[in-house]
């Protein structure tokens, strides 16, 4: 199958790109992936219970928001395929790619597909710690984004915990102090990795307690369906002593892993594996390949910023394709003119030669 535009990924960036591309009559094909990164189609937002910071919705479930985006993409004319892209070849145009069979991430189908342009919106996955109780209370007290979830009513005026010692952990903790009763930061080593300025902001804040050489071992909570987190078992890494502290929320700030394995050695990436794009644009190191959303954004990682970058990617893909069409048309015009000249007995280079 050949497509004008292929979109890999199905989060806010991917669907926004699909909507814009479809409205531009580019007939986009989206590969939403079958449990790519272990997450359902729609990306990380599908694991968020309530979203309160997406314009147009005072409150909406993350899964519902992504369902509505998917419906709009299809209504605009996007073809959505649930399979996962297994391999790509971006070394020449048209670009080539192959798929995994549905539900099988080991095998690769033999059929080769091609595309004139590719928009990468594969996202990034928050690192988890695989603590006891993590899966049970994910979305019911456990999160990987304070800015996304920290203002939910369940966290207001409650004791909260942040795990991490870098700049991201500092920013998460400081954000949470606006609504929380108290924020405890667990640092597994004996010092912070954050910058000196951020470390000072953290250590001097009256609502923040820092516990060094401390790790979490188990998440406690209500023993009922959709029960909420109520406490956290922590361990001193030096003395090995354990204790349970009250905590109504736990926020991971231990990094993200961008889904860029498909594109290694084909596209430029930074030291953390994020795709490098031109500042303020979606252009990657390969002409005709564009990137949007968390796969190229390691700073903001918000649904709305992802959606905006998806719009940028689609608009730039549309312009790039139009330029390619113009170039082809110009080349055809030159060839046609040359053929006409030869028919009339005039060779073009002779006609323009000043010596004749």
Structure-model confidence comparison of residues 352 and 355, the more confident one: 352
The crossing angle, in degrees rounded to 10, of helices 167-176 and 196-203 is 30
Q: Which two tokens stand for residue 58?
A: 């005072």
- What confidence score (pLDDT) does residue 353 get? 42
User: Cα separations (Å) of 136 from 21, 212, 224, 231?
Assistant: 39, 27, 10, 13
Instruction: Kindly state the average pLDDT of the residues 59-74.
Output: 94
Q: What is the pLDDT of residues 92-123, one digit of tens each?
A: 999 999 999 987 888 999 999 999 999 999 99
Q: Which two tokens stand for residue 355?
A: 């010596």
Ranking 115-119, 125-129, 202-206, 319-323 by mean pLDDT, the lowest is 125-129
- What confidence score (pLDDT) does residue 39 get? 67
Structure-model confidence comparison of residues 225 and 277, the more confident one: 277
Instruction: Kindly state the average pLDDT of the residues 259-274.
Output: 96
- What confidence score (pLDDT) does residue 252 get? 95
Residue 210 has pLDDT above 80, yes or no: yes
Q: Which two tokens stand for residue 294?
A: 């968390």
Query: Nearest CA to 9 among 282, 74, 17?
Result: 17
Asked if residue 43 lies in contact with residue 318, where contact means CB atoms within 8 angstroms, the answer is no
Query: Nearest CA to 282 among 33, 87, 9, 66?
Result: 9
% of the chain beyond a pLDDT of 70? 90
Instruction: Kindly state the average pLDDT of the residues 172-194.
Output: 95
Instruction: Kindly state the average pLDDT of the residues 323-348.
Output: 62
Compute the 3-state secondary structure of the chain and give helix, strand, coil in percent, each to the nearest 5: 30, 25, 45
Residue 178 has pLDDT above 70, yes or no: yes
Residue 356 has pLDDT above 50, yes or no: no
End-to-end CA distance of the chain: 51
- What confidence score (pLDDT) does residue 327 get? 75
Residue 248 has pLDDT above 60, yes or no: yes
**Residue 234: CA atoms inside 13 Å, Cβ hemisphere, count?**
23
Query: Nearest CA to 84 among 44, 51, 113, 64?
Result: 113
244 phi, psi to nearest 5 deg: -110, 130
Which residues belong to the active site? 145, 148-149
Asked if residue 243 lies in contact with residue 234, where contact means CB atoms within 8 angstroms, the answer is yes
- E strands of 172-288, at which residues? 182-186, 208-211, 214-221, 229-236, 242-246, 249-252, 256-258
- What confidence score (pLDDT) does residue 347 get? 46
Residue 196 has pLDDT above 80, yes or no: yes
Distance CA(46)–CA(259), nearest Å, equals: 17
- What confidence score (pLDDT) does residue 4 get? 97
Mean pLDDT of the chain: 90
Q: Which pLDDT band holds residue 350 (cuts at 50, 70, 90)?
A: very low
Residue 290 has pLDDT above 70, yes or no: yes
In the chain, the domains with their CATH numbers are 2-126+256-326 (3.50.50.60), 134-252 (3.50.50.60)
Residue 36 has pLDDT above 80, yes or no: no
- What confidence score (pLDDT) does residue 104 get? 80
């Amino acid at each position: 199958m050949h497509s004008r535009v292929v979109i890999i990924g199905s989060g806010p960036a991917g669907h926004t790109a699909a909507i814009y591309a479809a409205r531009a009559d580019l007939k986009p094909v989206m590969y939403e992936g079958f449990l790519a990164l272990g997450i359902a189609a729609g990306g990380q937002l599908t694991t968020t219970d309530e979203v309160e910071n997406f314009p147009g919705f005072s409150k909406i479930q993350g899964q519902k928001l992504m369902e509505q985006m998917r419906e709009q993409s299809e209504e605009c004319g996007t073809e959505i395929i649930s399979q996962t892209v297994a391999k790509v070849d971006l070394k020449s145009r048209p670009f080539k790619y192959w798929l995994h069979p549905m539900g099988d991430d080991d095998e690769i189908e033999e059929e080769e597909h091609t595309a004139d342009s590719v928009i990468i919106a594969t996202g990034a996955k928050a690192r988890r710690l695989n603590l006891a109780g993590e899966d049970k209370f994910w979305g019911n007290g456990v999160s990987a984004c304070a800015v996304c979830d920290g203002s939910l009513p369940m966290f207001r005026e409650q004791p909260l915990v942040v795990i991490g010692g870098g700049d991201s952990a500092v920013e998460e903790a400081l954000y949470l102090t606006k609504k929380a009763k108290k924020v405890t930061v667990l640092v597994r080593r004996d010092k912070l990795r954050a910058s000196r300025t951020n470390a000072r902001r953290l250590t001097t804040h009256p609502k923040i307690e820092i516990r060094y050489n401390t790790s979490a071992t188990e998440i406690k909570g209500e023993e009922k369906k959709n029960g909420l987190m109520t406490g956290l078992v922590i361990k001193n890494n030096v003395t090995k002593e354990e204790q349970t502290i009250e905590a109504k929320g736990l926020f991971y700030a231990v990094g993200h892993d961008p889904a860029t394995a498909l594109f290694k050695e084909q596209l430029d990436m930074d030291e953390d594996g994020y795709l490098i794009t031109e500042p303020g644009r979606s252009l990657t190191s390969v002409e005709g390949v564009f990137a949007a959303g968390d796969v190229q954004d390691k700073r903001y990682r918000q649904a709305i910023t992802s959606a905006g970058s998806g719009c940028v990617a689609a608009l730039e893909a549309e312009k790039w394709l139009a330029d390619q069409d113009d170039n082809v048309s110009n080349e055809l015009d030159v060839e046609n003119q040359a053929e006409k000249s030869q028919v009339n007995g005039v060779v073009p280079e002779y006609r323009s030669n000043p010596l004749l």
